[in-house]
């Protein structure tokens, strides 16, 4: 059981103080609703770029990608190489000029400008609950991790509280800290904190990975300790059964790269709001492009810990006997049953009521992959660095929750409250509603976290939400931005059809080792996938195709808007910028070409 030293406590308290201090420092600058919801559209490029990536490095990524690394090996890096980098570059070059140029507060408001009010309302009604569910899943997962690590057990026993109280305390403190700095400083406070959180994550996980590699004998030692299937990023992608992810190149390219990747980076208000807060359109375009560069390095920081957890020896209860002056001493090191039944540092999943392991349909012990990164962190980081590592875990939690809460208060106030409840109130009224919505979002996220009874893999849970909301939205936005013939009726029908298709797919399919219920099959499993990842990627693909086809067909059967109403909303009808030409290395296009070339070279080296 790890013990926190005064240095560790000081680091944790310092992080909390700085996070809250950012909110107080920005409080005086929040005078209008535009300041609160859009940070006054005045932030510099580097802040927007780091916040853009910081919003995506939350608890689901830190814990979920570590789990994916332990389960799927280096192929989990495809979530970045295929699922992120191309989509981020596309968002910067093609999507941001339209989002930013339209002066929309949010993605749903852009849907109103491009299509109609019913399309905006449908998307807002789907997106708002998704943000609450995502925030709740993050809160639940991180609170459970902190409880399972036992780092705060001594403190709670000292104050007369049982260790079970750690869950509620971790959840409430994190949630209310996020609520405080967003209420005080609005979106700007959330974005500055996302920058801080991203820097803390890098500062903690870089030494963690270096210490872990040194401990296992470097890259050669890691290769010798792992099965070959976990070490090859590209091996077997042309045959789904030949790799741990169970995905072939078509599923990776279409499902991960196009649908989920572009659906997240090009349509999700939680990350796009960072670029939409930039000071001008060129800064807004550069923010996702620049963010793609550090994104390429993240697999080494958040995927490798999962591999290290598998590579280390599995602990077992052992007894060491020694004799001193005729006296025999036996020192017994007792290891919990879940650790002995695990693999490396990854514990087995246990049934709390019986103390027995959870078994798969094949009778094998299920591993708790979500504990891969936290256990490696506790195992390797020394005094002082342990506090920084725990601060990084908490930072990842609050980065994700803050992005969800900031997106919710914008969408609720600007897309649901103002159009339907009170249209003609003063600006101060909407500023107050935004703050009230922030409080409500945090409370509802806590309720969602408490309602979660079982989260086998938080990454899979979030991918399911993306397939229901983001994939159909991507189809409608791509058609609307690049085909002027797309109509509001078509976009609405496409959104609805895509969501229904994803829901039906989830109800009719099931992973191999899963039972009917939250993981699917509730309509009767007609097909079984090798794992939840493959199921969710295929579900998102079906949703995208259904949304695209229905939107196109309905658009052809309905009357389009005149070209004069679509200027600045459709790429072919948007006039080019008349600003002075910049050198190629300062233009988003030039930066994108360089970053894409670096990404390709990096993938070739890893292959």
- Alpha carbon of 245 to those of 76, 149, 479, 547: distances in Å? 8, 28, 31, 26
- Reported as type and span, the H/E element at residue 292 is helix 281-302
Which DSSP category does 329 fall into?
E
CATH no., domain 1-26+42-237+279-313+368-455: 1.20.1730.10
Do residues 66 and 303 touch, judged by C-beta distance below 8 A?
Answer: yes
Q: Is the dihedral of CA 65, 69, 75, 81 positive or negative?
A: positive
Q: Rounded to an integer, what distance in angstroms lies between the CA atom of residue 111 and that of residue 101?
A: 13
What percentage of the chain exceeds 90 in pLDDT? 39
| pLDDT surpasses 90 at 374 | no
Confidence of residue 236 (pLDDT cuts 50, 70, 90): very low
Q: What average pLDDT does the segment 83-106 reach? A: 90
Chain mean pLDDT for the chain: 86
Query: According to the model, what pLDDT value does residue 579 have?
Result: 60
pLDDT for the residue 235: 47
Cα 536 from Cα 245, distance rounded (Å): 12
Residue 70 pLDDT greater than 90, yes or no:
no
Q: Is 291 helix (H, G, I), strand (E, B) or coil?
A: helix
- Give residues with Cβ within 8 angstroms of 562, minimum separation 6: none
The C-alpha atoms of residue 340 and residue 347 are separated, in whole angstroms, by 7
pLDDT in tens, 501-529: 999 999 999 888 777 777 788 888 888 88
Cα 222 from chain centre:
27
Among 298, 205, 266, 216, which residue's Cα sits nearest to residue 602? 298
Tokens 């005078």 belong to 31
Q: What is the pLDDT of residues 446-493, one digit of tens each?
A: 988 877 655 556 667 778 888 899 999 999 999 999 999 999 999 999
Place of tokens 């039944």: 341
Estimate the crossing angle of helix 385-411 against helix 117-149, to 10 degrees.
160
Q: What is the pLDDT of residue 1?
A: 54
Max CA pair span of the chain: 99
- Residue 359 CA to chain centroid, in angstroms? 28
Task: Say what the pLDDT of residue 238 is.
Answer: 45
Statement: residue 585 has pLDDT above 50:
yes
Q: Which residue has the tokens 């300790």?
A: 225
Residue 590, pLDDT above cutoff 70: yes
Nearest C-alpha neighbor of 73 from the set 316, 372, 341 = 372
What gap in Å lies between CA 167 and CA 172, rounded to an integer?
A: 9
Residue 484 to residue 36: CA distance in whole angstroms: 33
The two tokens of residue 424 are 């003609």
The three-class DSSP label of residue 509 is: strand
| Size of the chain, expressed as the number of residues it contains | 607
CA distance 301 to 210: 9
pLDDT at 577: 63
Instruction: Tell whether pTM > 0.85.
Output: yes
pLDDT for the residue numbered 451? 72
CB 139 within 8 A of CB 446: yes
**Is 10:387 a contact under the CB 8 Å cutoff?**
yes
Whole-angstrom Cα distance, residue 548 to residue 358?
A: 41
Q: How far apart are CA 252 and CA 76, in angstroms?
A: 11
Q: What residue ranges do the domains of the chain occupy?
A: 1-26+42-237+279-313+368-455, 318-367, 456-575
Distance CA 69, CA 455 (A): 18
pLDDT digits (tens, 9 = 90+) for 105-138: 999 999 999 999 999 999 999 999 999 988 888 8
Query: CB count, 10 Å around CB of 465?
Result: 18
Judged by DSSP in three states, 265 sits in helix
Q: Is pLDDT at 344 greater than 90 in this prediction? A: no
């Amino acid at each position: 059981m790890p013990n926190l030293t005064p240095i560790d406590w000081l680091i944790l308290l310092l992080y909390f103080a700085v996070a809250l201090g950012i909110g107080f420092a920005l409080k005086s600058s929040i005078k209008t609703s535009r300041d609160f919801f859009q940070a006054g559209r005045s932030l510099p490029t580097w802040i927007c770029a780091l916040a853009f990536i910081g919003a995506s490095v939350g608890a689901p990524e830190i814990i979920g990608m570590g789990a994916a690394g332990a389960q799927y090996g280096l192929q989990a890096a495809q979530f970045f190489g295929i699922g992120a980098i191309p989509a981020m570059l596309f968002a910067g070059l093609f999507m941001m000029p339209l989002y930013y140029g339209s002066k929309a507060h949010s993605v749903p408001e852009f849907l109103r400008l491009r299509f109609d009010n019913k399309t905006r309302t449908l998307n807002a009604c789907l997106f708002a609950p998704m943000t609450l569910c995502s925030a709740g899943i993050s809160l639940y997962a991180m609170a459970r991790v902190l409880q399972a690590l036992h780092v705060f057990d001594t403190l709670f026993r000292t104050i007369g509280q049982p260790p079970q109280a750690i869950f509620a305390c971790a959840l409430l403190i994190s949630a209310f800290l996020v609520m405080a700095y967003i209420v005080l400083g609005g979106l700007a406070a959330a974005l500055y904190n996302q920058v801080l959180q991203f820097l803390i994550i890098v500062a903690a996980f870089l030494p963690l990975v270096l210490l872990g590699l040194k401990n296992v004998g470097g890259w050669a030692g890691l290769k010798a300790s792992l099965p070959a299937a976990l070490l090859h990023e590209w091996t077997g992608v042309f045959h789904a059964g030949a790799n741990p992810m169970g995905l072939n190149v078509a599923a990776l390219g279409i499902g991960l790269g196009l649908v989920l990747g572009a659906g997240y980076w090009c349509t999700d208000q939680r990350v796009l709001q960072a670029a939409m807060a930039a000071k001008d359109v060129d800064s807004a375009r550069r923010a996702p492009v620049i963010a793609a560069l550090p994104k390429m390095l993240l697999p080494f920081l958040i995927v490798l810990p999962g591999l290290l957890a598998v590579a280390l020896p599995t602990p077992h209860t052992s007894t060491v006997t020694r004799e001193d002056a005729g006296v025999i001493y036996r020192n017994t090191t007792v290891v919990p049953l879940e650790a002995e039944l695990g693999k490396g540092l990854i514990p087995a999943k246990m049934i709390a009521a019986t103390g027995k392991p959870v078994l798969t349909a094949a009778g094998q012990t299920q591993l708790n992959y979500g504990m891969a990164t936290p256990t490696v962190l506790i195992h390797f980081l020394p005094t002082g660095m342990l506090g920084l590592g725990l601060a990084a875990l908490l930072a990842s939690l609050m980065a994700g929750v803050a992005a969800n809460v900031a997106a919710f208060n914008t969408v609720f106030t600007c897309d649901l409250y103002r159009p339907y409840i009170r249209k003609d109130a003063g600006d101060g009224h909407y500023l107050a509603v935004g703050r009230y919505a922030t409080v409500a979002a945090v409370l509802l996220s806590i309720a969602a976290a408490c309602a979660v009874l079982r989260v086998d893999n938080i990454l899979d849970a979030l991918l399911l939400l993306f397939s229901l909301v983001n994939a159909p939205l991507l189809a409608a936005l791509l058609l609307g931005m690049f085909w002027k013939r797309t109509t509001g009726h078509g976009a609405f029908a496409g959104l609805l059809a895509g969501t229904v298709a994803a829901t039906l797919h989830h109800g009719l399919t099931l992973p191999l080792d899963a039972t009917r219920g939250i993981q699917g099959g509730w309509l009767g499993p007609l097909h079984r996938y090798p794992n939840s990842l493959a199921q969710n990627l295929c579900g998102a693909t079906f949703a995208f195709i259904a949304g695209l086809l229905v939107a196109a067909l309905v658009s052809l059967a309905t009357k389009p808007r005149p070209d004069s109403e679509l200027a600045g909303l459709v790429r072919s009808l948007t006039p080019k910028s008349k600003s002075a030409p910049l050198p190629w290395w300062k233009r988003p296009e030039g930066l994108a070409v360089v970053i894409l070339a670096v990404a390709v070279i990096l993938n070739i080296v890893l292959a």
